[in-house]
Amino acid sequence: NKTGFIFDLDGVIVDTAKYHYLAWKKLADELGVEFTEEDNERFKGVSRKRCLEILLEMGHIDATQQQIDAWLFEKNEDYLSYIDRMDESEILPDVPKVLDYLKRKKIPMALGSASKNAEPILQKVSLLSYFDTIVDGNLVTRAKPDPEVFLIAGKNLGVELENCVVFEDALAGIEAANTAGMTSIGIGDPAVLLQAKYNFTDFTQIDFEFLDSLIDR
Ligand code: BG6
Ligand code: MG
């Protein structure tokens, strides 16, 4: 019974959740919509398009398709200005330790992210080679909490759904993993990620023994 590991990107592998927040905050200010870090929880794991829809709903703003396209472009340009400056220092603590360990054990690994910027980001932080398959926002049509992204990742890994383990920092992502019938591991505040099967504040809290227990089930 082969186990496979699926990693979300933003907020799990790299510290980019803060940049998404800053870029949305800037647009929200321009549109006169109040937007707090708490509101931002609803944006985590969710596609760019869906995030903008939520923002417009929050501000009761009706927009034309042309405006929507322009705002999506603007948000992404702003986000990319942060990403351009990014390097390995923005890999979250102990992520390489976990990736290295699983790689040495030849465990199949996938990236399962809503982001259309996943590959360039992984390249920037030199982690692209760890993953056997990259399933990202360019491939997936239905945003988390829909399980599509993880279902494709599991299929690409050739691992049964119930033998897939998913690391997620977003509520929507935990929900997607649970719906897919996978083992969900919340990375972040346990008070937020209530539905996760296991929860850790970050990867420094995860030891090899725990990883082994997931592998030898
Ligand atoms: C997810 C982030 O990983 O990717 C979301 O958690 C983001 O906040 C989504 O909206 C889409 O990212 P991008 O890079 O395609 O705008
Ligand atoms: Mg995330």
pLDDT at 94 over 90: yes
What confidence score (pLDDT) does residue 128 get? 97
Nearest alpha carbon, ligand 1 atom 1: 45
DSSP β-ladder status, 109-112 and 133-135: parallel
CA torsion 82→71→18→189, rounded to 10°? -160
Average pLDDT over residues 120-143: 96
pLDDT at 102 over 90: yes
What confidence score (pLDDT) does residue 198 get? 98
pLDDT at 192 over 90: no
Q: What are the residues facing 189 on neighbouring strands?
A: none
- Give the closest residue to 149 by CA, choosing from 129, 169, 159, 134: 134
pLDDT at 10 over 90: yes
Mutate to test the pocket of ligand 1, among 7, 18, 48, 169 (most ligand atoms within 8 A of CB): 48
What confidence score (pLDDT) does residue 217 get? 78
Helix (H, G, I), strand (E, B) or coil at 184: strand
Q: Say which amino acid occupies 85.
A: R
- Which ligand is nearest the CA of 166, by number? 2
Q: Report the alpha-carbon angle 167-47-137, nearest 5.
A: 75
Establish whether 10 is a catalytic residue. Answer: yes
Atom of ligand 1 nearest to the CA of 117: 14
Q: Indicate the pLDDT class of residue 116, thresholds 50, 70 and 90.
A: very high
C-alpha distances in Å from residue 171, one per residue of 21, 73, 124, 184: 16, 25, 26, 11
Question: Is residue 82 exposed (0-12), middle (13-18) or buried (19+ Cβ within 10 Å)?
Answer: middle
Strand ranges in 114-206 using DSSP code E only, listed in sequence order? 133-135, 164-168, 183-187, 198-200
Is any atom of ligand 1 closer than 6 Å to the C-beta of 44?
A: yes
- Which ligand is nearest the CA of 167, by number? 2
**Alpha carbon distance 129, 151 (integer Å):** 21
**Measured in whole angstroms, how far is the alpha carbon of residue 136 from the centre of its chain?**
9
pLDDT tens digits for range 137-158: 999 999 899 999 999 999 999 9
Q: Indicate the pLDDT class of residue 1, thresholds 50, 70 and 90.
A: confident
